């Protein structure tokens, strides 16, 4: 798929996730926390992908559309961070979800309309396909990194008492080795 198709597909996924966040009930704080975590991660990936791969294709760093979209990214990132730090049961939670959703939708309208149209006019089909392959490759790498972190975190969490015990044994052995060296070093 070309870059524009992938970006538009990503936008639809973000919209669906926003809608799910807005529709969670009052009795599902855990579900809200999971959805907000998913949204926070998806927005972080959205910003990183576009700013590292898509926006540089404009060749004009001061292009008004790119500057506007980048500023929107800053605002969205700030709002997403604030929402992620808000307990799901807090009074401020729902208003923050609404504010973030409004800002993300405004941003997606900017990108889906004039920004992607300008990019489509600027780049030929082969370049858009190449950019799409690069976006897909980046997504595979990011997914693999996230899987590795999840696997490692799960391993560490499950084995924390054993790891702690092993570290204690290693620290004890290191202390014994230091004491022996000091004894040998005395005249």
pLDDT by 10s per residue, the chain, length 187: 899 999 999 999 999 999 998 887 766 788 888 899 999 999 999 999 999 988 888 766 557 888 889 999 999 999 999 999 999 888 899 899 999 999 999 999 989 988 899 888 888 999 999 999 999 998 888 888 888 887 877 776 777 777 777 887 888 888 888 878 877 876 6
pLDDT at 180: 82
pLDDT of residue 4: 92
What is the per-residue pLDDT for 62?
A: 54
Domains of the chain by start residue, with CATH: 3-159 (1.20.120)
Give the three-state DSSP class for 85. coil
Cβ-Cβ contacts under 8 Å for 50 (sequence gap 6 or more): 7, 69, 73, 111
- Tell me the C-alpha distance between 177 and 28, whole Å: 54
pTM: 0.75
Q: What is the pLDDT of residue 38?
A: 92
How far apart are alpha carbons 187 and 185 in whole angstroms?
6
First to last CA, the chain: 75
d(CA 69, CA 72): 5
CA-CA distance, 162 to 6, in Å (whole number)?
Answer: 44
Buried b (16+ CB within 10 A) or exposed e, 24-57: beeeeeeebbebbeebbebbbbbbebbeebbbee
């Amino acid at each position: 798929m070309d870059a524009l198709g992938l970006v538009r597909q990503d936008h639809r996924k973000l919209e669906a996730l926003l809608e799910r966040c807005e529709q969670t009930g009052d009795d599902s704080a855990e579900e809200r926390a999971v959805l907000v975590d998913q949204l926070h991660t998806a927005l972080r990936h959205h910003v990183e992908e576009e700013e590292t791969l898509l926006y540089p294709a404009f060749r004009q760093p001061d292009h008004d559309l790119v500057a506007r979209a980048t500023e929107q990214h800053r605002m969205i990132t700030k709002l997403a961070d604030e929402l992620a730090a808000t307990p799901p049961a807090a009074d401020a939670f729902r208003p923050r979800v609404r504010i973030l959703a409004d800002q993300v939708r405004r941003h997606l309208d900017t990108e889906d309309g004039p920004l992607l149209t300008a990019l489509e006019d600027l780049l030929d089909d082969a370049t858009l396909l190449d950019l799409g392959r690069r976006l897909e490759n980046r997504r595979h790498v990011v997914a693999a990194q996230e899987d590795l972190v999840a696997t490692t975190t799960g391993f560490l969490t499950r084995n924390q008492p054993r790891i702690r015990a092993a570290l204690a044994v290693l620290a004890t052995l290191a202390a014994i080795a230091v004491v022996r060296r000091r004894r040998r070093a005395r005249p």
